[in-house]
Amino acid sequence: MRRRSLLARARAEVDAYLSLGSNLGDRDQHLRRGISELDAHQRITVAGVSGVYETEPVGGVEQDRYFNLVLHVRTDLPPRELLAACQRVEAVQGRDREHEQRWGPRPLDVDIVLYGDLEVDEDDLTIPHARLHERAFVLVPLMEVHPGGTLPDGTRLSKLVTRLAPIEGVALAHRYEGMPGGGPGRPAGPGSPAAIPAEDWEPPRGAPPGTER
């Protein structure tokens, strides 16, 4: 088990769910590295990894198909700090929010889907994710790592999936082995992210957070 500071241990952890997607370059590599980098943060623990689903892109922009998965994480980071951590991990994998095309391809996309039973409605952060109810490519893997799950208002995730039936364009591609929470191992050694104190954590080539997709 990863060692944490006494202060971090004293904070209350929340179960949160993150959606990861990639359709540029080596999709598997981007997802695996994204998972490892998130789990390397001393205040984020990956507790579960869904299967990897190959999905049709949304938004009307012609582009390659995505690999999508959902992570169950435990964290004591407030929502905005978690969002900043997610967006730094995106930047490590080459995402450039300032110059990318809206709804266009990206090497890695990380969205906060659920954060405990919290509801947030702000310009650049909405929890539960604003389009969760219409995204089978998120709901299907989400139900794997959050079986019997509900939204903060009590709506069952299974009910949202039923409304989207028949589900098309979402196919299980494969599952990862040996990763945190049942799925790649965290990099080892004194220079790895796992050895960096939480207050100093900053993935290489990190960028200031932008806005959530």
96 belongs to the catalytic site: no
111 belongs to the catalytic site: yes
| Surface-to-core class of residue 7, CB atoms within 10 Å of its CB (0-12 exposed, 13-18 middle, 19+ buried) | exposed
Q: Which of 32, 109, 135, 213 is catalytic?
A: 109
SS3 content of the chain, % helix, strand, coil (to 5): 30, 25, 50
Q: Strands 14-22, 125-127: parallel, antiparallel or unpaired by DSSP? A: unpaired
- The answer to whether 92 and 166 are in contact (CB under 8 A) is no
- The answer to whether 75 and 38 are in contact (CB under 8 A) is no
Q: Which of 32, 111, 135, 213 is catalytic?
A: 111
200 belongs to the catalytic site: no
Signed CA dihedral, 159, 147, 142, 78: sign only: positive
Phi (first) and psi of residue 34, to 5 degrees: -60, -45
95 belongs to the catalytic site: yes
Q: Which of 33, 43, 106, 213 is catalytic?
A: 106
Q: Which of 27, 88, 95, 135 is catalytic?
A: 95
**Catalytic machinery residues:** 95, 106, 109, 111
